[in-house]
Structure 1
Amino acid sequence: MITKAQLLQCAITKFTRFGSKHVTLNDLATELGISKKTIYSFFKNKEDLVTASLESLLNEYKTDINGIVSSNGKDPILCVILIYQRGFEYLKYFKPSFLFGLEKYYPKANLLFNNFIEQLSNKTVYNLFKKAQDIGSIKPDINIELVVKIYFFRVDNLLFKTNNLFDLYPKEELFNHFVIYNIKGIVSDDYYNPYFE
């Protein structure tokens, strides 16, 4: 018998690769060698499965974020870099249709994703940058709130705009342009970390 965790893992993999709208419950059942009825024993409908799958993926990322902050908390700028580096690893495997499908077909999952992005940028990243500014690692005249809104909020929308930038440029180049170069512009002259070489 399949477990709920196994079903969620399969759903996450399929939804992020092919888009949640394009993967049917029959596809998942066939992939797992189960009946569609088994899926319904865990979830009321496909939207609940999509939402639970996304929640599972976001919880995994939150755990990564908490680990990054607890391991590197003395250097809040490095924390932001590592958080976005890990985020780029997640986004690299997303097809744009996955995120667009959430917006169009699955309002509960879309709300969950939007709340996560809001929390990540406007709380976690903002607080890390503010801490960095308080300890002198970021120039005192920098408006942290504005930097977060311009460069660190909804990076997914920029990466997946018309073309999937992951298909056009190497992940490392995108990461440098979206994260490293923007942070380099706001740090104080005496701040350094190995990502700036």
Structure 2
Amino acid sequence: MITKAHLLKCSITKFTQLGSKHVTLDELASSLGISKKTIYTFFKNKEELVTASVEGLLNEYREDIHSIVVSNDNDPILSVMLIYQKGFEYLKYFKPSFLFGLEKYYPKASKIFDEFVDELSYKTVYKLLKKAQESGNIKDEINLELIVKIYFFRIDNLVFKKNNLFEIYPEEELFKHLVVYNLKGIVTNNYSNFFLE
């Protein structure tokens, strides 16, 4: 018998790689070797399944973020870099149609994703950068709220423009240009970490 956790894991894999709108419950059931009726024992409809899948994926990333912050408590700038490096690992498996499909067809799941992006940008990343600025590792004149809005809010929108940047550039190059080089420009001369060397 299939578990709800296994169904969610398979669903998020299919949804992120093919787009949630393009994966039918019949196809999902077939790939799992179950009936569509079995899916309905866990979820009342596809939107509920998509929403739960997105929540599961984001909770997994939240755990990664928490672990990164705890492990690098004395270096908030490194924490920001590692958070986005991990985020790029997640995003590289997404087809742009997955995020666009959420916005268009699954408003509850889209809202959860948007709230996560806000939380990540304006709470986690902003607080880490503020801590770095207070400890003298980011220049005093830097407007951190503006930095977050320009460079760290909705990186997914930048990456998944008409030409998917993951299809054009290697993940490491994107990470350096979108995260490392931008942070390098705002840190003080006395700060360094292995990304900046």
TM-score exceeds 0.5: yes
Cα deviations across residues 135-174 of structure 1 (Å, max 9, x unaligned)? 0000000000000000000000000011110000000000
The 3-state SS of whatever aligns with 1:186 is coil
Letter in 2 for 1:92: K
CA distance in 2, matches of 1:163, 1:63: 31
Aligned to 1:46: 46
Cα deviations across residues 70-95 of structure 1 (Å, max 9, x unaligned)? 00010000000000000000000000
The 3-state SS of whatever aligns with 2:20 is coil
Aligned to 2:94: 94
Aligned to 2:68: 68
Letter in 1 for 2:195: Y
Letter in 2 for 1:40: Y
CA distance in 2, matches of 1:40, 1:5: 14
The 3-state SS of whatever aligns with 2:21 is coil
Aligned to 1:124: 124
Alignment of 1:149-164 (within 5 A): 149-164=149-164
Count, aligned residues? 197
CA drift at 1:27: 0.7
CA drift at 1:189: 0.6
Cα deviations across residues 45-67 of structure 1 (Å, max 9, x unaligned)? 00000000000000000000000
Aligned to 1:195: 195
CA distance in 1, matches of 2:83, 2:31: 32
Cα deviations across residues 81-127 of structure 1 (Å, max 9, x unaligned)? 00000000000000000000000000000000000000000000000
CA distance in 1, matches of 2:174, 2:111: 26
CA distance in 2, matches of 1:106, 1:46: 9
Displacement over 4 Å in runs of 4+: none
The 3-state SS of whatever aligns with 2:12 is helix
CA distance in 2, matches of 1:154, 1:73: 24
CA distance in 2, matches of 1:63, 1:170: 26
CA distance in 2, matches of 1:77, 1:191: 9
TM-score normalised according to structure 2 size: 1.00
CA distance in 2, matches of 1:97, 1:147: 28
Aligned to 2:81: 81
CA distance in 2, matches of 1:145, 1:132: 14
Aligned to 1:166: 166
The 3-state SS of whatever aligns with 2:34 is coil
Aligned to 2:185: 185
CA distance in 2, matches of 1:172, 1:69: 21
CA drift at 1:41: 0.4
Letter in 2 for 1:106: Y
TM-score normalised according to structure 1 size: 1.00
Letter in 2 for 1:148: V
